Amino acid sequence: MAKWLSRAPRLAAVGAYRWVDERLGLGEVLGYARQKSVPLHKHSYWYYWGGVSLFFFLVQGVSGVLLLVYYRPGAEAYNSVREITFDLDFGWLIRSTHSWSSNLMILSVFIHMFSVFFMKAYRKPREFGWWSGLALLGLTLFLGFSGYLLPMDDLAYFATKVGLEIPRKLPVIGPAVVDMLRGGAEVSEVTIQRFFALHVVVLPFFFIFILGFHLWLVQRHGNAVPPSEEAVPESERHSIPFFPNFFAKDLAMWLIALNVLAILAALFPWQLGPQADTLTPAPAGIHPEWYFMSQFEVLKLFGRWFPGAAGEILGILFFTVGGLLWALIPLYDKSSQRAMRARTTTWLGYIVLVGLIGLTILGYFDLD
């Protein structure tokens, strides 16, 4: 009797699986996941970062829906966030989780992009993986930016005001796009309403759609092996099935990510400053979030070197051309056979990485 009882949950689970499988064909889905294998080598660690980005995105979805239950956009925005933070049970924890996870997601997406870059995983046939990834990076940054204003405390208000100065300098379309986003000449309750719609409907819609395409491509092409492994004869290369072997490792990474997130969110609760007063001047040292700091600093430096409109235009040109070249890398560095191009892009990657980190740090030392 006791033995039967201990087997009962397993039998019930197998029975339930069969019942669903007969109707929906779960076996086919798992079979599809089993088709893919993941290369094993000394750089395999970098394959986790796309999955870690995905994990933080899922956390954003769940914690975001919980915040939606009490958040009220518009004139009541600040009061509703104050209620969530100070009055509701565990409201502070959900808000802290959402804010920390957004930063960790942006960090993981950057790590993922640079690991893909240095592994040369943008080469044929993975060009669309690179381009769809760049679209996801843009959407991730925009999600971070639009979410930052929603509490409407003084930091959110002034940082958004300053942040909008960056796209406003884009030639021709800049002022029109920023006025449309703001819903007027100043950041106001109308802006909150617009950012809210972008943050919870428009951006997630495009994100999920492009993410589906991105993941389908990974399933279709499998993971690329880095150039250092290309020299190893095929017969000596090792790999493991994605499902269940690599998937189990992915889950272990997710558990580590969850621990890091829980420690940060619980021990360093996300702060809420005083309500924004739109009539007071911006406090000293106001700056955008760390992920826009490098652009902010470039605009500042160009503004100093080339006073007047020339500095702004050159600063924006620098980023636009840089971003475009970054997107076109797969069309330039196509294979290891072209050693010169392969080496140039690797060096370019180091310069971009060090440049981004250096400008971000410099930005914090260079606050007015």
Contacts with ligand HEM, residue ranges (CB under 6 A): 47, 49-51, 53-54, 57, 109, 112-113, 116, 121-122, 126, 129-130, 133-134, 136-137, 140, 211, 214, 218, 223-224
Crossing angle for the helix pair 309-332 and 293-305, to the nearest 10 degrees: 130
361 Rama sector, left if φ>0, alpha if ψ -120 to 50, beta otherwise:
alpha
Q: Give the chain's radius of gyration (CA, Å).
A: 24
Query: Which residue in the shown chain puts its C-beta closest to ligand HEM?
Result: 133
CB of 165 to ligand HEM, least distance (A): 25
Smallest CA-to-CA distance from 312 within 301, 325, 322 is with: 301
What does the DSSP assignment read for 169-201? TSTTTHHHHHHHHHTSSS--HHHHHHHHHIIII
Q: Closer to ligand HEM at the Cβ: 121 or 187?
A: 121
CB of 11 to ligand HEM, least distance (A): 34
- Residue 68 to residues 58, 105, 199, Cα–Cα distance (Å): 15, 20, 11
What does the DSSP assignment read for 323-338? HHHHHHHHHH---TTS
CB of 219 to ligand HEM, least distance (A): 9
CB of 343 to ligand HEM, least distance (A): 20
Q: Closer to ligand HEM at the Cβ: 218 or 265?
A: 218
Q: Closer to ligand HEM at the Cβ: 66 or 137?
A: 137
69 Rama sector, left if φ>0, alpha if ψ -120 to 50, beta otherwise:
alpha
Distance of CA 338 to the CA centre of its chain: 32
CB of 183 to ligand HEM, least distance (A): 28
CB of 350 to ligand HEM, least distance (A): 17
Q: Closer to ligand HEM at the Cβ: 185 or 331?
A: 331
Cis peptide bond N-terminal to 307, omega within 30: no
Q: Closer to ligand HEM at the Cβ: 70 or 290?
A: 290
What does the DSSP assignment read for 201-269? IIHHHHHHHHHHHHHHHHHHH-PPPPHHHHTS-GGG-EEEEIIIIIHHHHHHHHHHHHHHHHHHHHHSP
Instruction: Find out whether 192 and 202 touch, Cβ atoms under 8 Å.
Output: no
Q: Closer to ligand HEM at the Cβ: 140 or 146?
A: 140
CB of 23 to ligand HEM, least distance (A): 28
Q: Closer to ligand HEM at the Cβ: 190 or 321?
A: 321
CB of 144 to ligand HEM, least distance (A): 11
Q: Closer to ligand HEM at the Cβ: 85 or 97?
A: 97
